[in-house]
Structure 1
């Protein structure tokens, strides 16, 4: 089976995985008053509190532009970091299903990824409804290319999960180490502050490779759409997803033995 045919076979089951992911979110918030709206509300509260603190400390001159910067940065990083953290324990959490259901390993990763995608869309909708009041053009920028940046962010989450989920089974220290690295990366990257605020330490922001996906998702909303670069990243990531899905399917028995 070629990588393209492997990707096509998974495409056929995406509707079923989407329904399963939606059920997971519904069950998670079943006893709450606003249901999955808590995803958007918690994101808004985090942006409001942290944005106010960091914006005051760094003395931002343009608050509407800064709110867009922080809101898109936080939701992008939260999606990426949450996906990576979840992938480190994914196979362990799916252990019983792996042992009792003859499904490809990629199915479990895709199910988790679709859930992450739904969470991103809910959080983003809440943010845009509020931030769009300050800067109505943010909706226009979503249509003009912001959607492509968000797609690249989600594809990055997918292939990183496909890569890390089996490695975390073999390397038991990875689930312990990854949250620490992600926390350091969040605090050292220009997500809550502008890069120039670091002054002579601005070079530190270049040490976090994951920040590249934050820029891919956020820059189009800031009026910095680079179509050539975004399309190149899209093609490369699609190829990586196809190759890793095939590779992961072939590693099924090895992963089960590690479990």
Structure 2
């Protein structure tokens, strides 16, 4: 909440926003959703290395460690998102009603992407040990190119980058449902399809790497 207040004050002044109440809700929702996605991906590269003793000395399926991390990230998201949603409801009273009526499918997409993207990242991290240094840089670049602190129109000719950014394609429909009500069915359905394909592909990669994983970490 302190980060949201500080960033809203600074960027609201820089961008000379006309309606500060709408802007703080726009920024706050975008920030809490992005932080959940970025946090899950940032923690992924070293996931199997942190559990190397168990992976190397037990027959437990490695998918357990990914599901354990996934449940932790969901718990973290629920806690932070719930508190921020209650706080921002003072600025836009319809947030809670929109959350109950319209946000469920976009939240499902968010929960799914919190699993398969970190899953692929942690498999890559097991093979390429320096990946943990690259991930924060890539996430920072994606954050700056994503309309979170500003409107999409402010990207100008680079607006197409938001359209091909899967992390923003999850964030945007959820924020829209909360702020404006309704569901962007086209975006939500296409993202749901991508999530299903991503989960299938991630599980296939994990099963393929299961035999060699203990030797990589």
CA distance, structure 1, for counterparts of residue 148 and residue 103 of structure 2: 17
Aligned to 1:150: 107
Structure 1 residue aligned with 2:27: 70
Q: Secondary structure at the match of 1:143?
A: helix
* Structure 2 residue 191 is matched with structure 1 residue 233: yes
Residues 109-134 of structure 1: CA deviation (Å, up to 9, x unaligned): 11111111111111111111111111
TM-superposition CA deviations, 1:212-257 (whole Å, max 9, x none):
2221321211225223542443244235324532441342121111
Question: 2: distance between equivalents of 1:201 and 1:229?
Answer: 19
CA contact (8 A) 1:47 1:74 kept: yes
Residues 7-29 of structure 1, C-alpha deviations (whole Å, 9 max, x = no match): xxxxxxxxxxxxxxxxxxxxxxx
Between the aligned partners of 2:209 and 2:125, the Cα distance in structure 1 is 13
User: Following TM superposition, by how much is the alpha carbon of 1:156 offset from its aligned partner in structure 2, in angstroms?
Assistant: 0.9
Q: Equivalent of 2:42, from 79, 85, 92?
A: 85
Query: Is 1:222 matched up with 2:171?
Result: no
C-alpha contact (below 8 Å) 1:152/1:230 kept by paired residues: yes
Give the Å deviation of 1:86: 0.8
Structure 2: runs of 5 or more not aligned: none
4+ aligned runs moved over 3 Å, structure 1:
197-209
Query: Could you tell me which residue of structure 1 aligns to residue 118 of structure 2?
Result: 161
Contact 2:162 2:169 (C-alpha < 8 Å) held by counterparts: no
2:50 is the alignment partner of 1:98:
no
TM-score with structure 1 setting the length: 0.76
8 Å contact from structure 1 (residues 104, 249) kept in 2? no
How many pairs does the alignment contain? 216
Consecutive unaligned residues of structure 1, counting only runs of 5 or more, are 1-43
For the Cα contact (< 8 Å) 1:150–1:216, is it kept in 2?
no
Paired residues of 1:152 and 1:216 also in contact (CA < 8 A): no
CA contact (8 A) 2:170 2:191 kept: no
Deviates more, 1:89-98 or 1:225-234: 225-234
